[in-house]
Amino acid sequence: MSVLGHYLSRLSKDRRGNVAIIMALCSGVLVTAVGGALDFSRSATVSSELQSALDSGALAAASLTQDRNPESVVRAYVEAALNDHPQLLASLQLDVQADISLNSRAVVATASVAMPTTMLGLIGVNTLNLEHVSRAIEQVRDVEISLVLDVSGSMGGSKINALQDAANEFVEIVLAADAAERTSISVIPYNGGVRTPREVNENLVSGNQRRRTGCVDMGTDYPTEMTLPNRAMSFTEYYGNEQSGNNHSAFCPRANMESEFLTQNEGRLRGLINSLRAEGNTGLDVATMWGARALDPAWRGNLGGSFSDRPAAYDDADTIKILVVMTDGEATAQIRSEEYTYYDWWGRRRTGTRGYELYSARQARENMAEACDIADENGVQIYTIAFQLSGQTNRDLMRNCANKPQNYYQVENLDIGEAFSAIAADINQLRLTR
């Protein structure tokens, strides 16, 4: 018995055949796992190709220049992608829904195929269903642009020439697009003030002189007053001269530099840009607020131009509003004039005029910041260009006005055209929603 017991004990401890037994038991699972991994890898490749084809087809079908049936367009892309997998074409299920209007094409495409498996069939999985969805929309939107241009004295010489070239190219780019007929531009030159045309002043200024071009004095509280004043204003008085008609000064541009509002007339815009002349102070806050007003629906019908239905409502989904503010100098104080009485050497009473500060440069910066905030809160896209602008305070003012960091352009040389071209290209992208 002891010999037999010893033999049985040795036999129970001998594991030399266990690996073979284990391998035999696991081989089916291992083959299924490896084969299944290959099935899933192949399905991932096909799935990626199907999604890419579906996306491309939906984009092509949503193009506003597309004249073919949307389903035919998408099907052509998907079937081309499946040519390398002919066994899948029979199982292809494709559904394409399109919503087409005059200025918009929206496409939703759903595609599914049943991909046969190889080794996964061993465990009852004979097909892998691949289903994908793609959405695309191309919509031409109305565009309203306010282009606020600095023509103060520091812009003289080569700088004003560079600005004219850049602004002309900007107008050409945004009006050369397919949707140019849906684009309006307001060009607002400024020195210490902004000259508005007679059709605007009729609704702003009281008295018999309201039907004249000139610079309207909006007072000290205008940054918070975006609505139409309704003939409550008067023309700016500067050292005894009303700034209307042919009168001009450091706080009112010349008569040939009156703003153009809401127009698509490229000839008129170019004419204004080419007439720009550098002189005067820098009413950056006044100009920025006029740029914002040209986008404010409260002023609809009171700015003249070619579009009686503009500015559109802020929440109009078919409209984007753009404010571009350019300067090469700091916002300056607003200076006005007043009469005063004095006595000359011989004791005779005299009357003269003297300047006084309506508000300070610091207040002007605060006014501009508030104008930018008002526009931003109403969904206006704001771009700013600092043209050889010195001083951190001034640069910060312009940088903070832009509603995105990438919308601020700091130009150190004379190539201001690069900034204007970049903004124009961005606008053309914004007008198309994809």
What is the tens place of the pLDDT at every residue in 123-179? Answer: 666 778 889 999 988 877 899 999 999 999 999 999 999 999 999 999 999 998 667
φ/ψ bin of 301: left (φ > 0), alpha (ψ from -120 to 50), beta (otherwise): left
Q: What whole-number distance in Å separates Cα of residue 308 and Cα of residue 300?
A: 7
Output the pLDDT for position 276. 98
Q: What whole-number distance in Å separates Cα of residue 46 and Cα of residue 51?
A: 9
Instruction: Give the pLDDT confidence of 75-112 residue by residue, as tens digits.
Output: 999 999 888 888 888 889 999 999 987 667 889 999 99
Tell me if the bond preceding 223 is cis, omega within 30° of 0.
no
pLDDT > 70? residue 44? yes
Amino acid at residue number 402: A
Q: DSSP characters for 186-214?
A: EEEEESSS-EE-HHHHTTTB-SGGGGS-E
User: By C-alpha distance, which of 62, 149, 114 is closest to 329?
Assistant: 149
Instruction: Give the pLDDT confidence of 327-344 residue by residue, as tens digits.
Output: 999 999 999 988 888 888
Q: What whole-number distance in Å separates Cα of residue 118 and Cα of residue 122?
A: 8
113 CB neighbour count, 10 Å cutoff? 25
Q: What whole-number distance in Å separates Cα of residue 284 and Cα of residue 191?
A: 8
Q: What whole-number distance in Å separates Cα of residue 172 and Cα of residue 179?
A: 13
Q: DSSP characters for 147-160?
A: EEEE-SGGGTTHHH
Contact call for residues 186 and 361 (beta carbons, < 8 A): no
The CA-atom distances, in angstroms, between 106 and each of 59, 65, 141 are 9, 13, 14
Q: What whole-number distance in Å separates Cα of residue 131 and Cα of residue 54?
A: 11
Q: What whole-number distance in Å separates Cα of residue 434 and Cα of residue 425?
A: 16
Average pLDDT, the chain: 86
Output the pLDDT for position 234. 87
User: Which carries the bigger pLDDT value, residue 45 or residue 27?
Assistant: 45
The CA-atom distances, in angstroms, between 168 and each of 27, 269, 297, 302 are 77, 8, 27, 26
* 81 SS3 class: helix
pLDDT > 50? residue 11? no
pLDDT > 90? residue 309? yes
* Rounded mean pLDDT, 179-194: 93
Tokens 């109009």 correspond to 316
Residue spans of the domains in the chain: they are: 16-140, 142-433
Output the pLDDT for position 183. 94
Q: What percent of the chain has pLDDT over 90?
A: 60
Output the pLDDT for position 74. 94
Instruction: Give the pLDDT confidence of 361-413 residue by residue, as tens digits.
Output: 999 999 999 999 999 999 999 999 999 999 999 999 999 999 999 999 999 99
Facing residues of 357 across strands?
A: 335
Tokens 């003249």 correspond to 304
Q: What whole-number distance in Å separates Cα of residue 94 and Cα of residue 100?
A: 19
Give me the CATH code for the 142-433 domain, please: 3.40.50.410
Output the pLDDT for position 63. 86
Instruction: Give the pLDDT confidence of 244-286 residue by residue, as tens digits.
Output: 999 999 999 999 999 999 999 999 999 999 999 999 999 999 9
Q: CA angle at residue 323 from 150 to 136, to 5 degrees?
A: 145
Residue 302 CB-half CA count within 13 A:
20
pLDDT tier, 287 (very low <50, low <70, confident <90, very high otherwise): very high
Q: CA angle at residue 334 from 333 to 340, to 5 degrees?
A: 120
Q: Which helix (H) or strand (E) holds 23?
A: helix 18-62
Cβ neighbours for 33, distance < 8 A, ≥ 6 positions apart = none
φ/ψ bin of 247: left (φ > 0), alpha (ψ from -120 to 50), beta (otherwise): beta
Token pair in block for residue 176:
């050369």
Contact call for residues 169 and 422 (beta carbons, < 8 A): no
* 317 SS3 class: coil
The alpha-carbon radius of gyration of the chain (Å, integer) is: 35
Q: What whole-number distance in Å separates Cα of residue 306 and Cα of residue 261?
A: 8
β-pairing, 319-327 vs 381-387, is: parallel
pLDDT > 50? residue 426? yes
